[in-house]
């Protein structure tokens, strides 16, 4: 039981291998966005096979904008917590790699040691912006290729997802970059902010690598169902900030109600009970590991 509660869930097969099997199945797979241990745990309990740690969601959970302000330590801590809580492959958004080639290589080793399945790096330059906003600045293609090659060199088994933001300016440039990044060693390609179905089709027809699609809300990409992404031939579809948006709205409504009413009665029906919460976090399983702790009784 101790191993089950405290390990990263890798067992005989590491998470990178599991993610590769998901990709190789050629079935379009939804990847749930999570940002901490509880969100990762709940996503895993709901049946998702892999998770995505979004820089936008993590920075927002720290009340920071998504402008490249996260440190490697911030991301590593969140990623390790998610891996341990979910026992699932986690794809980690690493923005521009926390610096240049040596920084990327360090990030690879640190995150691989934390049990991460895949890191995602993008071809923006700092200060980077959300992929669905304007005025993004793009790094030279050779510089990004060197980062990808360095990441693969530093990796033992870790997958590398290469994201290009060049489609904002030119779909042709984005496709060229996608193919160059594949040649540099990227395992997965992510062409950000596609806003027309025709563009989605062209990326699939002209890029041979496995593709990741971003199904974020309120962005440039129109809401597209998982069935449609499957018809388009994309292997992975992330929902990066969706859970965070829902949770934040619920908390905002709760705090407003508590301030106004002075009690929580309006929201009691929407809360997990103590028993339900303890079940999710396996409270009593942890108590059983130490027989000096008397089993707790739920009021």
Of the segments 64-68, 217-221, 228-232, which one has the largest average pLDDT value? 228-232
Would you state the pLDDT for residue 24?
95
For residues 222-239, give the mean pLDDT: 96
Would you state the pLDDT for residue 299?
81
Encode 202-232: b = buried (16+ Cβ within 10 Å), e = exposed. bbbeebebbbbbbbbeebbbeebeeebbeeb
pLDDT at 132 over 80: no
For residues 199-208, give the mean pLDDT: 97
pTM, to two decimals: 0.93
For residues 45-49, give the mean pLDDT: 97
The tokens describing 115, both together, are 């049990």
> Which has more confidence, 106 or 299?
106
Would you state the pLDDT for residue 127?
74
Share of the chain above pLDDT 90, in %: 82
Is residue 126 very low, low, confident or very high in pLDDT (cuts 50, 70, 90)? confident
For residues 212-226, give the mean pLDDT: 92
Distance CA 12, CA 19 (A): 14
The pLDDT tens digits of the residues spanning 138-167 come to 999 999 999 999 999 999 999 999 999 999
Mean pLDDT of the chain: 92
For residue 35, the 8-state DSSP code is -
- Listed by start position, the domains of the chain span 14-247, 264-299
Which residues lie closer than 8 Å to 179 by C-beta, 6 or more apart?
Answer: 206, 207, 208
Share of the chain above pLDDT 70, in %: 93
For residue 239, the surrounding DSSP H or E stretch is: strand 236-239
The tokens describing 118, both together, are 């895949």
For residues 222-249, give the mean pLDDT: 96
Other C-beta atoms within 10 Å of 282: how many?
A: 14
Would you state the pLDDT for residue 12?
45
> Which residues is 34 bridged to in the sheet?
53
- Domain 14-247 matching CATH 3.20.20.60: the answer reads yes
Distance CA 239, CA 218 (A): 12
For residues 68-89, give the mean pLDDT: 96
Is residue 125 very low, low, confident or very high in pLDDT (cuts 50, 70, 90)? confident
- Of 202, 223, 220, the closest CA to residue 211 belongs to 202
Is residue 2 very low, low, confident or very high in pLDDT (cuts 50, 70, 90)? low
Distance CA 89, CA 20 (A): 10
pLDDT at 112 over 90: yes
pLDDT at 101 over 80: yes
Helix (H, G, I), strand (E, B) or coil at 92: strand
Would you state the pLDDT for residue 13?
58
Is residue 59 very low, low, confident or very high in pLDDT (cuts 50, 70, 90)? very high
pLDDT at 1 over 80: no
pLDDT at 18 over 80: yes
pLDDT at 11 over 70: no
């Amino acid at each position: 039981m101790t191993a089950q509660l405290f390990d990263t869930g890798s067992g005989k097969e590491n998470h990178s291998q599991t993610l590769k099997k998901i990709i190789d199945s050629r079935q379009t797979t939804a990847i749930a966005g999570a940002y901490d241990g509880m969100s990762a745990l709940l996503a895993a309990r709901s049946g998702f096979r892999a998770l995505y740690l979004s820089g936008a969601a993590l920075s927002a959970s720290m009340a920071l904008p998504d402008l490249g302000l996260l440190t490697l330590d911030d991301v590593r801590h969140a990623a390790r917590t998610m891996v341990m809580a979910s026992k699932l492959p986690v794809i980690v958004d690493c923005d521009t790699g926390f610096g240049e080639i040596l920084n990327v290589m360090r990030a690879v080793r640190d995150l691989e040691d934390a049990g991460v399945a895949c890191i995602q790096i993008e071809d923006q330059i700092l200060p980077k912006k959300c992929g669905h906003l304007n005025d993004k600045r793009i790094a030279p293609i050779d510089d990004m290729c060197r980062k990808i090659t360095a990441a693969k060199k530093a990796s033992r088994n870790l997958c590398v997802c290469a994201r290009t933001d060049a489609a904002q300016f030119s779909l042709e440039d984005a496709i060229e970059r996608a193919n160059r990044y594949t040649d540099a060693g990227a395992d997965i390609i992510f062409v950000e902010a596609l806003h027309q179905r025709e563009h989605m089709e062209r990326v699939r027809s002209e890029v041979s690598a496995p593709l990741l699609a971003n199904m974020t809300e309120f962005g440039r990409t129109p809401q597209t169902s998982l069935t449609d992404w499957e018809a388009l031939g994309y292997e992975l579809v992330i929902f990066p900030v969706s859970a965070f948006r829902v949770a934040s709205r619920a908390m905002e409504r709760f705090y407003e109600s508590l301030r106004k009413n002075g009690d929580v009665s309006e929201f009691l029906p929407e809360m997990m009970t103590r028993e339900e919460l303890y079940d999710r976090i396996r409270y009593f399983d942890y108590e059983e590991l130490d027989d000096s702790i008397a089993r707790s009784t739920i009021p």
